[in-house]
Amino acid sequence: MKKQTPPMEIDIHLLDLRYAHTRIKNAAALAKMQNSIIRYGQIVPALAVPENNNFILIDGYLRLKALKACGHDCIKLQVIEASEADSLFVMLAKNNDRQWRSNRAGSLNPGTSQPFYLFIWRDSQTIGQG
């Protein structure tokens, strides 16, 4: 079970950006995020897991890039005490569910009302049990 601490502000240099190469660059989204940060500040914390004295950034790469472009040296961070793999799975499931909902598909199997992430979760439970 994952444990969440209250969001905190940390120095950007404490982030491990090992998943930065997986992100799609979108100049329009970055400009929109920068404008939002200039106007309102960072509203949604980024998501990270602790590793040694650093934090592995799981979700929030666009926010990070926009914060840097705006001259910030700190980021609001939600730290989850869970494994890196579990945290990646949660982020992927969240993003996939959002995509399915926006496409009005809602589920992997026609005729069910279960969102896609439940099918991934069920399948992930059997990995390594054979």
Average pLDDT, consecutive stretches of 10 residues, N- to C-terminus, the chain (130 residues):
75 93 89 96 92 91 95 94 68 55 44 48 50
Measured distance CA(74)–CA(67) in Å, rounded? 8
Which pLDDT score, from 0 to 100, does residue 90 have? 65
Q: How far apart are the first and last CA of the chain?
A: 23
Under 8 Å between Cβ of 91 and 51: no
> Rounded to a whole number, what is the largest CA-CA distance in the chain?
52
**58 C-beta neighbours (distance < 10 Å), count:** 23
pTM over 0.85: no
Which pLDDT score, from 0 to 100, does residue 63 have? 95
- Tokens standing for 6? 């209250």
Measured distance CA(82)–CA(76) in Å, rounded? 18
